[in-house]
Amino acid sequence: MTKWELTLSEIDLGQEEIDAVLEVIQSGWFTQGAVTQKFEKAFAEFCNARHAIAVTNGTAALHLANWALGIGEGDEVICPSLTFVATANAVRYCGGKPVFADIISENNLTISPQSILEKITPRTRAITVMHYGGYPCDMSAIKKIAADHNLAIIEDACHAVGSSYNGESCGAIGDIGCFSFFSNKNIATGEGGMLVTNDDELADKIRLGRSHGMTTLTWQRHQGHAFSYDVTDLGFNYRIDEIRSALGITQLEKLPRNNQKRNELTRHYRQSLSKISGIVVPFDNHPGESACHIMPILLPAGTDRQAVMSAMREQGIQSSIHYPPIHKFQNYQDNPELSTDSIPLTEAVCLRELTLPMHPLMSTEDVEKVCNTLEASLYSLKVDIA
């Protein structure tokens, strides 16, 4: 097993999390209840959204979003391929077809409004955007396209807790926003997720869908507020629990400070990486506020990325790839119904992208070390960086 000196991500955990979890355990009530309600209220306020609905993970959030919008057989949802596979799989869970649009450029890895326009057909029902790395998509253009073509917008905001665009919180700009609290995210609860929406009807549908379509919950019956329930929809069990919600409340309190730290580290990375010629550092001068979830760079075209990653690993530095493009995965390639036209920018960038360590426990010295190691690795591989 590799002994890392610097890992890709680390969680800012302290006594606060231990106390919060202990309190839940001592309360004797583990399943979704008052602590979850408190987490949802705090999260809705943080995003300035009318509703926040906590769920088991980000994938469940994306599934519920597509389901609540009524995506079904024959429907198309336009989404990026440069994202985690769950963004597209969630469409397929509902019987719909993900249609992949390209990214904007080497500098802006988010979904291209122009490419979205080119992919619209009479079957298109929605657009799912993903705020890559926490950098907001071009939501003005995307909202206009959605309005002109009567399409819903789902925001995959799993990277973007605390990001904003024109003063609006990412996740609360489209019809439904989806967040993940997986361990590598800016808010980490182990597994966990959240949907936000400003639409009362969608919120009601999502709340029912989260819990089997049941009209009352165990928690309400425990409180003596109900004796029985009806089932009014074919729902799921996507409920979060009180232990994770307690962690979420604590992590949310730390988020502004930790996102500020990520921003400072990103600025430092940009300065240091600018000294290595041949490297592209995307999202230069990007509009809006970024949660700086990850630190992506593009290696010079043709670089043996795996050799760079191995050379960095030898020095104890973990790196990663965000992402292998979804449309090239075997499960997508093997399915003729999911075949897609070429999306050349995505395909070119995916071969060059390398993700460097980024988390709020890092120091600027750590950033220097990563950049020096990267430069030395490229040099040892004789990559033409001059």
Ligand X SMILES: Cc1ncc(COP(=O)(O)O)c(C=O)c1O
Residues in contact with 186: Cβ distance below 8 Å, sequence separation at least 6, in sequence order: 134, 161, 162, 255, 258, 259, 262, 291, 293
Interaction with ligand X in 147-166: which residues (CB under 6 A)? Answer: 156, 158-159
CB of 199 to ligand X, least distance (A): 21
Give the Cα separation of 385 and 221 in Å (integer): 66
Give the Cα separation of 52 and 178 in Å (integer): 10
What's the token pair of residue 116?
A: 């979205």
355 DSSP β-pair partners: 296, 320
Among 193, 235, 296, 357, binds ligand X (CB under 6 A): 193
Helix, strand and coil content of the chain, in percent to the nearest 5, comes to 40, 15, 40
* 135: preceding bond cis by omega (within 30 degrees): no
Q: How far is CA 145 from the centre of its chain?
A: 22
Tell me if 40 contacts ligand X by CB under 6 A.
no
In the bound state with ligand X, the residue whose beta carbon lies nearer, of 66 and 83, is 83
Among 9, 87, 164, 303, binds ligand X (CB under 6 A): 87
- Residue 185 bears catalytic tag: yes
CB of 179 to ligand X, least distance (A): 8
Each residue 108-147 as x (binds ligand X by CB under 6 A) or -, in order, gives: ----------------------x-----------------
Stretch that binds ligand X, among 6-14, 84-92, 240-248, 282-290 (CB under 6 A): 84-92
Backbone angles phi, psi at 249, to 5 degrees: -60, -45
In the bound state with ligand X, the residue whose beta carbon lies nearer, of 132 and 219, is 132
Tell me if 86 contacts ligand X by CB under 6 A.
yes
Nearest 10 degrees: Cα torsion 121, 122, 127, 128: -80
Tell me if 59 contacts ligand X by CB under 6 A.
yes
Tell me if 366 contacts ligand X by CB under 6 A.
no
Strands 76-80 and 97-101: parallel
Among 58, 162, 177, 235, binds ligand X (CB under 6 A): 58
Residue number of the CB closest to ligand X reads 58
**234 near 210, Cβ under 8 Å?**
no
Tell me if 291 contacts ligand X by CB under 6 A.
no
What's the token pair of residue 111?
A: 């979904």
Q: Which of 185, 205, 254, 261 is catalytic?
A: 185
3-state secondary structure 188-217: CCECCEEEEECCHHHHHHHHHHHECCECCC
Stretch that binds ligand X, among 33-41, 82-90, 198-206, 328-336 (CB under 6 A): 82-90
Each residue 164-183 as x (binds ligand X by CB under 6 A) or -, in order, gives: ----------------x-x-
In the bound state with ligand X, the residue whose beta carbon lies nearer, of 113 and 134, is 134
Give the Cα separation of 52 and 65 in Å (integer): 12
In the bound state with ligand X, the residue whose beta carbon lies nearer, of 61 and 311, is 61
- Of 110, 111, 134, residue with least CA distance to 187: 134
Q: Which residues bind ligand X (CB under 6 A)?
A: 57-59, 83-84, 86-87, 130, 156, 158-159, 180, 182, 193
Catalytically active residues, by annotation = 185
